Each structure stands twice: as structure tokens, then as C-alpha cells.
């Protein structure tokens, strides 16, 4: 559409790249596929943006939205409730691990992360520890774009324009075992080292100043870093020892992406807070949530207590109705079980690409994978900034899309291709992904 460049300001987009051409415009979706304005079909290898977990074209979700809009299109959760928010909060609490029973709705992931940091700070102020305000997170990790969430984010490239940020963000090593700076031959020892780095950071800052640790079950940015064995068990011990809250940022990793409703369940750890969004509605309406333990709400249950935070559209009636309908689809079709049953096949299909000289590492879990690209498989030499620019933006992003695969070619860490298809994906989709990647990556290597 020619007028897209005249008025539409796209997110995280180099607008100048479309100065001489049309903006790709997606007009329809069905199952695991989307179609553009010219009628070309693409396999949605990223579920939109790790969002469309139930797949495209679910008319029952659209109908749930229309029905709710006809009954009650909007009412705020400021001192009032509405039925769908109550019902959805109860449903979420039934699925969370442990005593995570308090659901604070937002409209998306950044807001959920923002709410979690604000809750951590407010909680410690109300329990006599007002100096505990800092947060620990990992290098290259993405936690959102609002000013608080951006301060937790570990990507310098998307922060510099907006500095100075909210003070208190502390960064520690991530769990990229492929490039482990310590214990590169022992995943368990590496996991212990990486977890202990969190403890060392808390000690350096002073335990009486640190409120929370924010970690994704599988770190998205950088290319899908799973936790090494024992990592989260050790992190939980450290948080308990220093009276620090463990926040599991599951904006991507919840709602079946890792073969469980929540990533914390997949890896067997108990967080104090879960942040979530994206797949909760499969993208059919915007919704997010901060889910907190009963303990964290206790200081706000006094006669005059209040968590002085809120957003206009948090827990929107239409979005809550869509989320409930979405979870009905999950239950009826056992989408979470479908991921567990097929994740090994997805991994095995992607691992076929190891025979290509440009493929260094294939990593991830569930339906959430990163493929790291290298110049030399033996030495694991990566591409420099100029080479990465030519490889990813100069060729791969466009070539993969033209070949019929929508996915992410990303160099916020080392160059990777990320894949997170809808949870309905099966072997035929895995094969299609592998075949397109094989063809395009082979051409990319020939161009180097």
C-alpha cells in the first residue's frame, strides 16, 4: 500500500528502507499461514510476534469479541469489576504454580513488566525495607520498551536514544552455553556459575538495595537461550537467601510456547511474580497481566492500602472474553500437549541444518528456537558488524520472506534466526521451515 510510508510510523523499523518500495502488507491469516496484499502465502514462523499461539483465522475468538462488545464494550477495573475479568483471573490462578493467585491486568508485556517492578518497590517500602528498589536482569535480554521496562532490558542499542533511564538496573551474564565464558564443557557447572553471578551482583550492590531478579525461562533476545540444568533451582536459593523477588518474565514463554502453560512449570521453579501477555489471547485482542503471590498482596489489604498503579485498558472486557475463549480452544484441542508431543520432531528437523557451514548452533525448547549463524563452525567465529548488516538486513530478512517464510533474522546479540510458529504447527510445517531455511542459508553462504 503506497500510503503506508506517508502516514504509518512502524515499530522498530528503518523507515528509510521503504523510501523506494512498498511496505509489505499482510491482509489475511489462516492456521499457520498469512497472505499479503498481492495474494502471496507465507508460513508464519514467528506466530506474528510470538503471539498467535492458537493460529490465525479462529472465528470463535472473533465471535467472542463481538458478543462481549455488544454486552459491555468497556468498563475500567478501577474500584469496579466486570464478569470477564473476574472469570479470567480465576482461570489464570488455577493454572499458575504455587500461590500465584493475584492477577493484575495490563494491555501488554511492557506494562506487565513495569507493574512488576513497581509492585516490588512498593512491597518492600510497605514491609520496612524502602531501600530495596534495584533489579537484576541479563545481558542482551529484552523486557520491554516503557522507561522502567527498558531499564531492565539489556540491549544497549535500543536504550541509548532514551537515556538517562530509570536508575537501578543491574546486568549479569545470560545462559548462552554455546558461547559460555566459563565451563564451556559442562552445562551444569556453567548454569551454577551463571546463577552465582546473580548472587555476586546482589552482594556488590548490597542485598538491602535489590528488590527483584527478572528472568525469562528461555531468553528471547540473542537467540533463545534455555536454562542450563540446575540454573533456576540455584537462582531461587539466591533470591531466598537475600530476600529478593524472582520475577519470571513469560510474555513469550507462557501459554504453551514451551509445552506448559507457564515456563516456570516447564523448568520446575517457583517465581514470586509472573509477567505475561501475547499468547494469552493468541493476539486476537491486546492483553497482559502481572500475576503475583498472595504474600505480595498482603501489605495492600489493610484498610487504607492501595497499589497506586493502573492503566485505562488493563483487563478490557473484550480482551478478557477473547482470552477465555482462547483458553477454551487450548483445552479442547490440547495445544499444550500438542507442543510436548511434537517438540522433539521440531528440534530434530531444525537440527538437520547443522550440515550447513553457516549454522553454528540450534537451541531452544518447545516451539521456540534460535539458529545461530557463524563464519567458522570450528572456531565459532561470528560476523563483524558490517558483515552482519549485509547478511541479515542486506539479504536474509528479504530472501526468507520472498521464499515464503516469515521469521526473525536478528543481530541484537550474535546473528540468529528465530522461530516460534503457532502451536498448531505439525511436521509438514517443520519440513517447510527447514527446506526454506536450507535453500536461503545455502545461498547466503555462497554470497559471503
Main-chain dihedrals φ then ψ at residue 16, nearest 5 degrees: -65, -20
Residues of CATH 3.40.640.10 domain(s) within the chain?
A: 62-333
List average pLDDT for each run of 10 residues in the chain, which is 448 residues long.
78 83 92 97 98 98 98 97 98 98 98 98 97 98 96 94 96 98 97 98 98 98 97 98 98 98 98 98 98 97 93 98 98 98 98 98 98 97 92 92 95 92 98 98 93
521496562: which residue's cell? Answer: 149
Interatomic CA distance for residues 214 and 156, integer angstroms? 17
Residues of CATH 3.90.1150.10 domain(s) within the chain?
A: 334-446
Interatomic CA distance for residues 383 and 88, integer angstroms? 46
Interatomic CA distance for residues 165 and 150, integer angstroms? 8
521453579: which residue's cell? Answer: 269
Interatomic CA distance for residues 438 and 144, integer angstroms? 32
CATH number for 334-446 (one of 3.40.1350.10, 3.40.50.10540, 3.90.1150.10, 3.30.1490.150): it is 3.90.1150.10
- How big, in percent rounded to 5, are the helix, strand and coil portions of the chain? 45, 15, 40
Query: What CATH code is assigned to 62-333?
Result: 3.40.640.10
| Preceding omega of 149 cis (within 30 degrees of 0) | no
In whole angstroms, how large is the CA radius of gyration of the chain?
22
Q: In sequence order, what E strands does 195-235 have?
A: 210-215
526473525: which residue's cell? Answer: 408
pLDDT at 430: 98
The answer to whether the pTM exceeds 0.85 is yes
Amino acid at each position: 500500500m503506497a500510503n503506508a510510508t506517508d502516514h504509518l510510523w512502524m515499530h522498530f523499523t528503518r523507515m528509510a528502507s521503504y523510501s523506494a518500495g512498498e511496505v509489505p502488507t499482510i491482509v489475511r491469516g489462516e492456521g499457520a499461514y498469512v497472505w499479503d496484499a498481492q495474494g502471496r502465502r507465507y508460513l508464519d514462523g514467528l506466530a506474528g510476534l510470538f503471539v498467535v499461539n492458537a493460529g490465525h483465522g479462529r472465528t470463535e475468538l472473533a465471535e467472542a469479541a463481538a458478543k462481549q462488545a455488544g454486552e459491555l464494550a468497556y468498563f475500567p477495573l478501577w474500584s469496579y469489576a466486570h464478569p470477564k475479568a473476574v472469570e479470567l483471573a480465576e482461570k489464570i490462578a488455577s493454572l499458575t504454580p504455587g500461590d500465584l493467585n493475584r492477577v493484575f491486568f495490563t494491555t501488554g508485556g511492557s506494562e506487565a513488566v513495569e507493574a512488576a517492578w513497581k509492585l516490588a518497590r512498593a512491597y518492600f517500602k510497605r514491609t520496612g525495607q524502602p531501600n530495596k528498589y534495584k533489579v537484576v536482569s541479563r545481558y542482551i535480554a529484552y523486557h520491554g520498551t516503557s522507561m522502567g521496562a527498558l531499564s531492565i532490558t539489556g540491549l544497549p542499542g535500543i536504550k541509548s536514544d532514551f537515556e538517562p533511564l530509570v536508575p537501578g538496573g543491574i546486568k549479569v551474564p545470560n545462559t548462552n552455553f554455546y558461547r559460555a565464558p566459563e565451563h564451556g564443557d559442562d552445562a551444569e557447572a556453567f548454569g551454577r556459575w551463571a546463577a552465582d553471578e546473580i548472587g555476586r551482583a546482589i552482594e556488590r550492590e548490597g542485598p538491602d538495595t535489590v528488590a527483584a531478579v527478572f528472568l525469562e525461562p528461555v531468553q528471547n533476545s540473542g537467540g533463545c537461550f534455555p536454562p542450563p540444568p540446575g540454573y533456576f533451582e540455584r537462582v531461587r536459593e539466591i533470591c531466598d537467601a537475600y530476600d529478593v523477588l524472582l520475577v519470571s518474565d513469560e510474555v513469550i514463554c507462557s501459554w504453551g510456547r514451551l509445552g506448559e502453560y507457564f515456563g516456570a512449570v516447564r523448568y520446575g521453579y517457583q517465581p514470586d511474580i509472573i509477567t505475561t501477555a501475547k499468547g494469552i489471547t493468541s493476539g486476537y485482542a491486546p492483553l497482559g497481566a502481572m500475576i503475583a503471590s498472595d504474600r505480595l498482596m498482603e501489605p495492600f489489604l489493610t484498610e487504607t492500602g492501595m497499589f497506586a498503579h493502573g492503566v485505562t485498558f488493563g483487563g478490557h472486557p473484550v480482551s478478557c472474553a477473547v482470552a477465555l475463549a482462547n483458553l477454551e480452544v487450548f483445552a479442547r484441542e490440547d495445544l499444550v500437549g500438542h507442543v510436548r508431543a511434537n517438540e522433539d520432531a521440531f528440534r530434530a528437523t531444525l537440527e538437520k541444518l547443522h550440515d550447513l557451514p553457516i549454522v553454528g548452533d540450534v537451541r531452544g525448547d518447545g516451539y521456540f528456537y534460535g539458529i545461530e549463524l557463524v563464519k567458522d563452525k570450528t572456531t565459532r567465529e561470528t560476523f563483524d558488524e558490517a558483515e552482519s548488516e549485509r547478511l541479515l538486513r542486506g539479504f536474509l530478512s528479504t530472501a526468507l520472506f520472498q521464499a515464503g517464510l516469515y521469521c526473525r533474522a536478528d543481530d541484537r546479540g550474535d546473528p540468529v534466526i528465530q522461530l516460534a510458529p503457532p502451536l498448531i504447527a505439525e511436521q509438514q510445517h517443520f519440513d517447510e521451515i527447514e527446506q526454506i531455511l536450507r535453500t536461503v542459508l545455502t545461498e547466503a553462504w555462497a554470497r559471503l
